[in-house]
Amino acid sequence: MHPTRPLALGAALLLAACATAPGPRPLTTIESPGEVSLADAAAPVVIHVSSRFAGPLAIYSVSAGVATRLGDVPGGRAEQFRLQATQIPANGLTLLAVPQTGPARASTGVLRVAPGSVVDFTIGASLADARAGVRSP
């Protein structure tokens, strides 16, 4: 018999004994740290658009170069839109406000959002005076 064979056999027996020894078992849960519950994962992103611009604006969400129209905001008014969790882009969300006349537009830049986030998109009297912020759920 090889001289290390009894040593390997002893190590295997020791490991087996430790694995079956009585004592406190680690607590296992069905949810790992960092996981999101199904209800939270399905929560929409709420988008508040407040406009002081004189004319009506079409609001778009843009992801990977594709624009999706969310709706319209009348001049000097505020509207709220919802983006379903399945529509949230992994690479970030950009919002555009486009007037019905003229080539100008307002943009948020890339926003990192998650299900349940609230986006505040504020447009001033000039489209150049636009800002956005994201609040966590």
Q: How many domains, the chain?
A: 1
Q: Specify the pLDDT at position 26.
A: 47
**Cα–Cα distance, 69 to 72 (Å, whole number):** 8
CATH number of the CATH domain containing 106: 2.60.40
Tens of pLDDT, residues 2-59:
566 565 555 555 555 555 545 554 444 444 455 545 555 689 999 999 999 999 999 9
- Say if residues 35 and 60 touch (Cβ distance below 8 Å): no
Residue 4 lies in a domain: no
Residue 20 lies in a domain: no
C-alpha dist (Å) from residue 42 to 38, 59, 64, 70: 6, 23, 22, 19
pTM of the entire structure?
0.69
